[in-house]
Amino acid sequence: MASQVSGAGAGTTAPRPENPQVSGWTMFAAVMMIFTGITAVFEGISAIAKDNLLVVTRHYAYQFNTTGWGWIHLILGVVIALAGIALFTGATWARIVGITLAGLSLIANFAWLPWYPLWGIVVIALDVVIIWALCARTGHHAAT
């Protein structure tokens, strides 16, 4: 077993993490998805409750009442938060689901802009960063 002692010799490799798919960017995306999912849930509850937080403005081509938007954000928020939790496993399916849900969230928040423009812009920016983080390669290479 003396040949397995690590040192400066050839053939030594750094120890690999238990799950190489869970990189720093994936963990960042997971945390951001949980955060945006939870805030979307609160956004949805606020819209369903017809809170004074939302201002109903002109009619747009993608018109829903605030209750309809509330349910969309509530359901999407729960699913996004659950997908964010699943990202901690490092599973490829969780990355694909995360990218898909962040894209759906981006579209929903773009359509949500007339009712809550500042938060819509913030979430759109976070969704773009989440998609980038989940698509980025972070230096994990396949074993040769």
Give 78-115 pLDDT, tens digit per residue.
999 999 999 998 888 999 999 999 999 999 889 888 77
- pTM for the model stands at 0.72
What is the spatial distance between Cα 141 and Cα 28, in angstroms, rounded to a whole number?
20
Q: How many CB atoms lie within 10 A of CB 90?
A: 18
Q: Is the pLDDT of residue 125 over 60?
A: yes
Q: Spell out the SS3 assignment of 80-103.
A: HHHHHHHHCCCCHHHHHHHHHHHH
Structure confidence at residue 143 (pLDDT): 44
